[in-house]
Chains A and B, each alone.
Chain A
Amino acid sequence: MKDWQPRILAILCNWCSYAGADLAGVSRIQYPPNIRVVRIPCSGRVDPLFIMKGLQSGFDGVLVSGCHPGDCHYLSGNFVARRRFAVLKPLLEMIGIEPERVQFSWISAGEGERFAQVMTKVTNDIKKIGPARRLVKGA
């Protein structure tokens, strides 16, 4: 399985994290090509069901990224999201989903370098724990 490449779902908020990804791109910063990006208006839009659907579809990992607290384009979207993720992550870990599989970050529009770093970290984390098996549908 040494040629296995993880496929990671990256749900990025339009105003900060997605812009950060764009900046990484135009700055030609290299990072692993394992992510598949879904752009949403705000991290507060993320329904935990998106994350579950991602795991069911066979993504090996999910990363959700939004604006830094206090910088949300819609003022409080990421605060609401933060509470939601704070309860979702422990519940997923209760059923045995490895903590590295679903991760969260705050990345701003100016943090192109950091975006690449976070993507690299997540990809390496997932490579270490192997392909997702547990919630995959039709397995």
Chain B
Amino acid sequence: MVNELREKVKKLLAGGEVELVIGWEKGSRALAATPVFIDSPKEADRLIFDSTCGNNPAVYFTKDSRRLVKAGKKIGVVVKGCDARSMSLYLAEKQVKRENVVIIGVPCRGVIDTDKVAEAAGGREVLEYSEQDGKMTVRGKDLDLTLDANEVLSNSCLTCVYPDAREYDIFIGKARDGEPGKEQNAALDEFEKLSPEERWEKMTEIYSRCIRCYACRNVCPSCYCNECFVDQNDPQWVGKTPEITDTMIFHIIRNLHVAGRCVECGACERACPMGLELLLLNRKAAREVEERFGYVTGIDSGEKPAMADFREDEKQDFIMG
């Protein structure tokens, strides 16, 4: 599949259909692929695709106030299912022009969670990684371990409903649909059994580790405001220290801003240097949007995003009216 991807990208570049292709190449650490920007056919052999390809490449379209897009280049992007949803979101939000993007879908079977691998490896450093048919092998000094995908995939991937791109120009290999409702809400249902007191305790435990580095915000393709609300200081909405109230408000409001726009790719959780379980809030917001407004992010770029839309008749059980 990877060879086919490389050949396809070579053809696209050679034929002038795109000037740049964003994908992944092998990183300097065994467990992390790294983004690569291919601008000539011979560079295309650097492209890889496997379960280390964690970050969401769509983010580069909106980086620096959409600098790449504004340059008017035709850009190709290799996408997993979730990344493709981000691209569809960008099309719906008119952040990229359809004729300037070539969406290349690849079959994704999930991205690994490096913390889970580190735990399985008992803290021994992983120096080599390979995968085959749902089994991941990690090797290092005194380390040779083969793990099942279920043990080491990111939480968002274990319950993924859209593994492969739904809207694309080219698909390499065979696409498949995920199974809807496949335990997607299991963790959330479990959490919702807790009382408000218990919820506050659990959330405080998680978010007290936040160091307000904003890695989650910056890797997120849905976060592309020119000025983020945390950077406003007149008025200052949120304090900058990790005082729990300010940290909670940052995360709640960021979630609200990406409600109905988050594709649950998990890039935020993987980027967090403190290993916070961020996606619980994202799943909650996504489920509310799905159930109340019947909208799933990034499935149809022709559909108006839920929070930018309304219906006159809507469930308003929470309003005294």
Contact = CB atoms under 8 A, between A and B. Distances in A.
Interface string A127-139: 0000000111101
Interface in B290-321: 292-293, 306-307, 309-312, 314-316, 318-321
- Does more than half of chain B's interface fall in helix, strand or loop, or is it mixed? helix
Given A79-B310, A82-B314, A105-B321, A56 B198 contact: no
A39 interface: no
* Interface size, A (range): 35 or more
A53 B229 CA distance: 13
Contacts of A98: 196
- Chain B contact residues (Cβ within 8 angstroms of A): what range? 35 or more
A92 B314 contact: no
A52 B288 CA distance: 20
Contacts of B306: 83
A87 B245 contact: no
Contacts, number: 116
Nearest to A78: B310
B245 A92 contact: no
Interface of B: 191, 196-201, 203, 229, 237-239, 243, 245-246, 248-249, 252-253, 255-256, 259-260, 280-281, 284-285, 288-289, 292-293, 306-307, 309-312, 314-316, 318-321
29 contacts: A49-B249, A52-B252, A53-B237, A56-B245, A79-B312, A79-B314, A82-B314, A83-B309, A84-B256, A85-B318, A85-B319, A86-B318, A87-B259, A90-B288, A91-B252, A91-B255, A91-B256, A93-B199, A94-B203, A95-B199, A96-B196, A96-B197, A104-B320, A106-B319, A118-B320, A134-B200, A135-B249, A137-B246, A139-B245
